[in-house]
Amino acid sequence: MTRLTPDMIKDVPEDKIDLDTRLMQAAGKTVKGIALEAAGLPEDTDLSGFKVAVVPITSGLGIISGFSASVDAIVKRLGMDSHVTQGTDVNGFTEAVREGADIIMMADDNMFIAYNVREMRETDNSWGTARGYAVALKNAAGGLEGKKVLVIGAGMVGSWAVRFLMDMGADVYVTDIVYEKAERLSQYGAKPLRDVSKAISENTLLLNAAPFIIPGEIIAEGSIFSSPGVPHYFDQVGRSRAKAIIHDPLEIGAAVMAVNSAGYSIKKE
């Protein structure tokens, strides 16, 4: 997981245009709707019975200012009962367990997980982000069965995205500046493409899982980008050519993690 900076999350979850509104326009679903679909739960699932504790972690490069508060706000928007623990690290974890938290969310420089205490199962951010953005792309495209989709970036998020898109019936292509990484994903049925720019210019359904600012001039008219990659920036040409660009620096991935984590308990009931 790439470490976020406070600047990247300063507007989470209150962006200029609310994320739910942007997602409704692009994909016809809210964050919660996408997260429920990603977790395989019905649209009317009540999540209010879940107690979530967000534990700030100080190790490595330390606490990202605003991160725990942002995760807390995201989880509350899903209708869950959430708070940030007073203690940090092991203290915070212990506090969460003693308070009877069902789900504990915490991140260091490398991992961000939602841990379901009752079921002793974790959902990590790469999985949640890939799944959320794959579901968003599927909805924005009106289904992916038999359609060509390009995954840009064959790292942690891209590798999961390839598998989810394959499961959705897409004809999946993958590209990476390190071609060998894309090639490795052929084990899941994805077709590797060597020339990143050419691949982008020849596809209109794209999941961008790379820290790549894509020049607008290589974007095909009518493209739909499901784009978790940060830094996130599309120039004027790119924005005018793209039919839809789905992005936020944290909320979709974190929401999928929390809802999927709750799903472990719901599916057992």
Nearer to ligand NAD, 1 or 39 (CB): 1
For ligand NAD, the closer CB: 31 or 53: 31
User: Which residue lies nearest ligand NAD, judged by its C-beta?
Assistant: 155
> Which residue lies nearer to ligand NAD by CB, 242 or 255?
255
- CB-CB contact of 170 with 148 (8 Å): yes
Site residues (vs ligand NAD, CB under 6 A): 1-2, 125-126, 129, 152-158, 176-178, 181, 196, 209-212, 228-230, 249-250, 253
We find the least distance from the C-beta atom of residue 215 to ligand NAD, in angstroms, to be 10
Would you say 16 or 268 has its CB closer to ligand NAD?
16
Taking the complex as a whole, how short is the minimal distance between the CB of residue 13 and ligand NAD, in angstroms? 12
Question: CB-wise, 102 or 176, nearer to ligand NAD?
Answer: 176
- In the chain, the amino acid numbered 109 is D
- C-beta of 35 vs 196, nearer to ligand NAD: 196
C-alpha 63 chain-centroid distance: 21
Q: Rank residues 192 and 253 by Cβ distance to ligand NAD and give the closer one.
A: 253
Q: Are 210 and 152 in contact (CB under 8 A)?
A: yes
- Nearest-approach distance from CB 108 to ligand NAD, in angstroms: 14
As given in the structure block, the two tokens for residue 130 are 């890939």
What is the closest distance, in whole angstroms, from the C-beta atom of residue 48 to ligand NAD in the complex?
A: 24
CB of 119 closer than 8 Å to CB of 268: yes
